[in-house]
Amino acid sequence: MDNRPVLYYDSGIGGLCYGLHFRSRNRREKLVCAGDRANFPYGVKSREELIEITTALTKKIISVFNPKIMAIACNAASVSALAHLRAEFPDLPIVGTVPAIKPAVLASKKRCIGVLGTNRTNSDPYIEELVSRHGPDCTVVKIAAPELAEFIEHRWTDADQDEKMKVAGSYIEQFSEKGADTVVLACTHFPFLLDEFRAAAGDNMKIFDSVEGISNRVESLLEADGLRSGSNTEQQAIMAVTGKEPLEPYWKKLTGKFGFKLELM
């Protein structure tokens, strides 16, 4: 038994989306979601920058929270720095986020899949490697949407349903025009609009994300390594963010909505 926290790490609020799914199935585990507010956004940074940033923050995360496992709930950080972080911190199990290319390929009847991500994720050779491995006959339509990550990070809590639908619908329309019948949400911020994406896509297009897959992987490591919590009660979840005070109002609104304790890290 191990009562140390499970930690989900992202450049901003994206890790919270993934952490919420894990928490819904693991209430007795301590959960910390860390958002690197000071360095947001990650998707426009180079591989070298992200390695430097994520290494420094992982050191801080270990010193402050001593997690038993860390999930990098960020595609840009995962494709850029996962191998480096695993080598740098061999005693900490680290789970990376892999865009859900395989299920999208398997579901595509037109053999045309869309990938909605950030500049860093979409430009990484790993995307093409995944497609070649799982669907070499597929055409890939990639759209980089840094403005969508910005919208979700700063506007999601205040935007009304019409605005959210309009935003999601604009990307679905672009993918539809290019012939895609499956779309991968390759940024961990984007599942905050999952319902809107699916509503805009209708029956003609399927939307995929990696939220459940990451929960499954974290849970499997907890079981295999004997790291399950010994607590018999529901644990408080924490949202820890970097940067200076004052925190923007949406942080309190967001964490309050989901019952997380907000801390400045």
Report whether the peptide linkage leading into residue 5 is cis, meaning its omega lies within 30 degrees of zero: no
* Residue 225, pLDDT score: 86
2 residue type, one letter: D
Tens-binned pLDDT, residue by residue, of the chain (265 aa):
899 999 999 999 999 999 999 999 999 999 999 999 999 999 899 999 999 999 999 999 999 999 999 999 999 999 999 999 999 999 999 999 989 999 999 999 999 999 999 998 998 888 889 889 999 999 999 999 999 999 999 999 999 999 999 999 999 999 999 999 999 999 999 999 999 999 999 999 999 999 999 999 999 999 998 999 988 899 989 999 999 999 999 999 999 999 999 999 9
pLDDT of 155 reads 93
Determine the Cα–Cα distance for residues 16 and 227; give it in Å rounded to an integer. Answer: 22
Task: Tell me whether residue 74 is one of the annotated catalytic residues.
Answer: yes
What per-residue confidence (pLDDT) applies to 247?
A: 92
HSE of 161, CA atoms in CB hemisphere, 13 A: 3
Using the Cα atoms of residue 78, residue 175, residue 161 and residue 206 in order, give the sign of their dihedral. negative
Give the predicted TM-score (pTM) of the model.
0.94
* Catalytic residue from among 17, 33, 74, 138: 74
Strand partners, 183: 114, 207
- Around Cβ 133, how many Cβ atoms within 10 Å? 11
- Residue 113: closest CA among 167, 178, 21: 178
What whole-number distance in Å separates Cα of residue 239 and Cα of residue 247?
A: 12
Angle at the Cα of 219 from the Cα atoms of 217 and 224, rounded to 5 degrees: 95
pLDDT given at position 126: 84
What tokens appear for 87 in the block? 């080598």
Cα 204 to Cα 164: distance, rounded to the nearest angstrom: 20
**Domains defined for the chain, CATH in brackets:** 6-97+212-264 (3.40.50.1860), 101-209 (3.40.50.1860)
CA dist., res. 100 & res. 95, Å (int): 15
* Among 17, 33, 138, 187, the one annotated catalytic: 187
- Tokens for 133? 């491995």
